[in-house]
Amino acid sequence: MTSIAPVPRLIEQFERGLDAPICLTWELTYACNLACVHCLSSSGKRDPRELSTAQCKAVIDELERMGVFYVNIGGGEPTIRPDFWELVDYATEHHVGVKFSTNRVRITPEVAQRLADSDYVDVQISLDGATAEVNDAVRGPGSFDMAIRALANLANAGFADAKISVVVTRHNVGQLDDFKALADRYGATLRITRLRPSGRGADVWDELHPTAAQQVELYNWLVAKGDRVLTGDSFFHLAGLGAPGALAGLNMCGAGRVVCLIDPVGDVYACPFAIHDRFLAGNIVSDESFDNVWKNSALFTELRQPQSAGACGSCGHYDACRGGCMAAKFFTGLPLDGPDPECVEGYGAPALAEARDKPRPGADHSRGKPIMLTLQRPPAKPCNESPV
């Protein structure tokens, strides 16, 4: 009855939407000390309209009433907010679990102790290379050392099972075993997610997204070793590469159905990778409440209707991948009712080769345009390269 393996009837229930999200992503601020080239929220500068402490607490009250189990807090760099720990405490006191992503937890002994004592707070350290060379090319100079220091601090403070959060790219897909070893060294769990062409990611996606051969490599790695690796179910576009259920998780797009995003100014988007007017459901302040936006917005109502398979209708894999990721299609300029740009049947590639009109992300808080450092390919193990 409990399920790891997907059960169609349940997925259909989820596709019709729940009365409240299971969890949601909440970006607390657009301010960030880093300027990652692939930042999904184009973060950098704080937005003057960001929600106040009181407004944030009102959101938490609502999430408690709605029965939302936990929030994934990110940004920007959420710990930059002076009221960050106050909000974490407020959430856990109100039975809303917190998982937060950070690039540099500044752990005082008190904070470390508090984190270690709480079963309701989970920490994710972002890292996009198992070596400084690969990581810093994307996340900026010094960011690898900063993340490793944060992991060491957490481990020393007795915080068990932190998460190392990796966005899989063309340059780090060969390092999956190294990431796993790194996680094991710090008593952490590896979490890997898909690179989306969202935010500043739109500018670097062509260059950074894994090749077709690497997608197969990634899929095989997940099936062989993925049982103790978290993925946020983000690789469902690869589900067609093997038997149904081989890939752990629900493997469906939960956007506006079981998950969503609240951005720093209270705008509600269908998912964290869809910061654009096309996927804006409403605002928690101007539309009265989050509950109202979740239950009644025109966008979410539309997403909960049966979706057209479009050009994918005749493909035998459609039941497995459901046409892939809406945001990945949208920001690469592909039609929403066609194949994913990384379609396992290769139907995305010719579509990408045609002239495309790529929509610009909705909100850009970048401080200038970060430039990817020149990256030498890591010394790839020959066996990691596909012979085909």
Partner 1 sequence: MTAHTVGAAFDPTRTWRLHPQVAVRPEPFGALLYHFGTRKLSFLKNRTIVAVVESLGDHPTVASALAAAGVDPDQEAPYLHALSVLVASNMLVIKESA
Positions touching partner 1 (CB under 8 A) are 1-3, 7, 9-10, 13, 18-20, 22, 67, 69-70, 95, 97, 99, 119-120, 122, 160
Which residue, 253 or 343, has its beta carbon nearer to partner 1? 253
Measured CA to CA, the distance from residue 359 to residue 339 in angstroms comes to 17
Residues 213 and 79: their CA atoms lie apart, in Å, by 38
The strand pairing partners of 194, in sequence order, are 168
Taking the C-alpha atoms of residue 147 and residue 127, their distance in angstroms, rounded to an integer, is 7
Q: How open is the CA angle 100-142-122, to the nearest 5 degrees?
A: 15
Backbone torsion region of residue 307, taken as left when φ is above 0, otherwise alpha when ψ lies between -120 and 50, otherwise beta: beta
Q: Nearer Cβ to partner 1, position 13 or 55?
A: 13
CB 84 to partner 1: min, Å: 20
Q: Which is nearer to partner 1, 10 or 181 (CB)?
A: 10
From the CB of 220, what's the least distance to partner 1, in Å?
Answer: 25
d(CA 293, CA 309): 26
In the complex with partner 1, the residue whose CB is nearer, 7 or 373, is 7
CA 290 to chain CA centroid, nearest Å: 21
Nearest distance, CB of residue 315 and partner 1, angstroms: 28
| Residue 62: CB minimum distance to partner 1, A | 15
Crossing angle for the helix pair 143-156 and 109-117, to the nearest 10 degrees:
70
121 Cβ contact partners less than 8 Å away, ≥ 6 residues apart: 88, 92, 97, 98, 99, 100, 115
Q: Provide the token pair at 236.
A: 């469902």
- The H-or-E segment that residue 85 falls in is helix 84-93
| In the complex, minimum distance from the CB of residue 55 to partner 1, in angstroms, rounded to a whole number | 25
**C-beta of 193 vs 220, nearer to partner 1:** 193
Closer by beta carbon to partner 1, 205 or else 290: 290
Distance (Å, whole) CA 234 – CA 252: 9
Query: Minimum Å distance from CB 191 to partner 1?
Result: 11
Q: Which is nearer to partner 1, 228 or 356 (CB)?
A: 228
Q: Give the up-direction half-sphere exposure of residue 78: CA atoms within 13 A in the CB hemisphere.
A: 27
Distance from C-alpha of 307 to C-alpha of 348, rounded to nearest angstrom: 19
* Nearest distance, CB of residue 381 and partner 1, angstroms: 33
Name the residue nearer to partner 1 (CB basis): 92 or 103.
92
User: CB of residue 99 vs partner 1: minimum separation in angstroms?
Assistant: 8
